[in-house]
Amino acid sequence: MAKEIELGLELTGEDALTFHRYNKKPYDTRDGRELIKEAVRLSKKASETIHL
């Protein structure tokens, strides 16, 4: 029988500190906001083409 795949994240050093700081005080960036706007636009476009 196959062994179940365990998902996880291991960070060390500066990566771990950056991740911890971000979780304590999340921030956004201009690129991140543009990415979300594009995702919303694509989602709306896709939902317009789907006829259920």
CA 13 from centroid of its chain's CA atoms: 22
b/e sequence 27-36, b meaning 16+ C-beta within 10 Å:
eeeeeeeeee
Mean pLDDT taken over the chain: 89
> What's the average model confidence in pLDDT over 25-50?
90
- Its pTM stands at 0.47
> What's the average model confidence in pLDDT over 24-49?
91
Q: What are the distances in angstroms from CA 20 to CA 5, 17, 23, 42, 46? A: 25, 5, 5, 31, 36
pLDDT at 16: 94
Question: pLDDT per residue over 32-44, tens digit each?
Answer: 999 999 999 999 9
